[in-house]
Amino acid sequence: MPPTTHERFFRVTLLSLLIASALATGLAAAAHHWQPNPGTLNRWLPALLCIAYVAQFFILWRSPDKLIGVVWVAFVTGLIGIATPAWVFSLQAWQPGAAPLTETLPPISAALLPFLLAMILFTPPRQLFRAALVAWAVIAGPILVWLIGHPDALLSPRGLDMLITLGPVTLMVVLFIPFHRGMEQRMDQLHQERARAQALAERDALTGLYNRRAGETFLSNMLAGPDDADALILFDIDHFKSINDNFGHDVGDAVLKEVAARCTTLLRKNDIFARWGGEEFLVLIRGSGEAGIVRVADDLRQVIGETPIESVNKVTASFGVARFRRGDSMQTWLKRADEALYEAKRAGRDRVVAG
């Protein structure tokens, strides 16, 4: 199955994030390499993270169907890559005689904020708030605890920056998640309401078929990329005025609904079936030669007339069919089908005529 638009968007976004993460960790690895005595963690962790992000990029590039798996691996990689130095350097800073955390800690906050924003984009809504809160606590927790336990370092410029960034600022991002979810739900609701309104605007209220306006739109679209195998059918119910006069409009409405339902069972999903007006209907068929379209029309004629409809007994319909011809406009194509339909009526009704 081909990927949806949303899947393609998320895949491209994740590929971009993986490249950005690989570049960032690669630059960090290079910077630590040129430092005197960078330490084991600083020497190896950025390089390993860079390799991991590059590997994930190529896996997703070659196998788009592994999107969900790569998302979770990327989250775990990012969490390990940020949380590990947060805990290691915090624990080392508690040791007697150790350098303050404000002097040794890598720029954790620069990585934590993009990590949380990526979580907002990729994590399922029901799991997002809890997962982001846990990630924030795991990463920022040991650093904030150390800062609170060392007031002198806390009041230094780096200490205040770490406190504000890892505390209120990052927590604001986490607390933004419920608002983000509410906005997503509202957008989904608006999208659904718009889809319902559009469906109502293009559907016939009685039969549930497309209405004439929608039928004309589909016909225009077909003419924008026509094919000699395209065809249309116009048909209407024979003596429908007599049905209304003799049995009432409620029965007439029931006949229209039953005819629409019977014909729908025979048509393909990609065929367009519209109520053209009153008792007249339009069918648009892609990829059907003249013999094929006559056969489709005759099948519709038979399914309408073969079983009596309650209250009115047998109901028949007359059909005019017209295959697309080069140079046809909407008017000329419909006119040939309409002339064929009236020829079917003049010839005695309950028949198919090709125009």
Looking at the structure, tell me whether residues 180 and 68 fall in a common domain.
yes
Pairing of strands 317-323, 231-237: antiparallel
Residue 301, helix vs strand vs coil: helix
- Region of poorest pLDDT, from 32-36, 63-67, 74-78, 254-258: 32-36
CATH classification of the domain holding 328: 3.30.70.270
- Measured in whole angstroms, the distance separating CA 126 from the mean position of its chain's CA atoms is 19
Looking at the structure, tell me whether residues 114 and 218 fall in a common domain.
no
Region 2-22: what's the mean pLDDT? 81
205: in domain: no
- Region of poorest pLDDT, from 60-69, 103-112, 178-187: 178-187
| Distance between CA atoms of residues 351 and 345, nearest Å | 8
Looking at the structure, tell me whether residues 315 and 257 fall in a common domain.
yes
Give φ, ψ of 266 to 5 degrees: -95, -20
Please give the tally of structural domains in the chain.
2
The secondary structure element, H or E, covering residue 236 is strand 231-237
> What pLDDT is recorded for position 43?
80
pLDDT band of 142, cuts 50, 70, 90: very high
Told to judge if 290 belongs to the known catalytic residues of this protein, a careful annotator would answer no
Q: Is residue 284 predicted with pLDDT exceeding 80?
A: yes
Looking at the structure, tell me whether residues 55 and 174 fall in a common domain.
yes
Identify residue 235 by its one-letter amino acid code: F
Region 42-65: what's the mean pLDDT? 90
pLDDT band of 251, cuts 50, 70, 90: very high
- Tokens at 71, concatenated: 């998302």
Q: Is residue 93 predicted with pLDDT exceeding 60?
A: yes
CA distance to 112, 127, 208, 279, per residue, from 273 (Å): 55, 43, 10, 13
Looking at the structure, tell me whether residues 175 and 97 fall in a common domain.
yes
Looking at the structure, tell me whether residues 11 and 98 fall in a common domain.
yes
Looking at the structure, tell me whether residues 224 and 185 fall in a common domain.
no
Q: Is residue 191 predicted with pLDDT exceeding 90?
A: no
207: in domain: no
> What pLDDT is recorded for position 190?
78
- Domain of residue 43 covers 5-197
204: in domain: no
Closest CA to 296 of 219, 344, 340, 233: 233
**Catalytic entry in 184, 258, 279, 306:** 279
Looking at the structure, tell me whether residues 243 and 148 fall in a common domain.
no
pLDDT band of 181, cuts 50, 70, 90: low
The predicted-structure confidence for 102-132, as pLDDT tens digits, reads as follows: 988 888 877 888 888 788 777 776 777 788 8
Looking at the structure, tell me whether residues 232 and 175 fall in a common domain.
no
Pairing of strands 280-285, 352-354: unpaired
More confident residue, 335 or 41: 335
Looking at the structure, tell me whether residues 126 and 182 fall in a common domain.
yes
Residue whose tokens read 């998640």: 177
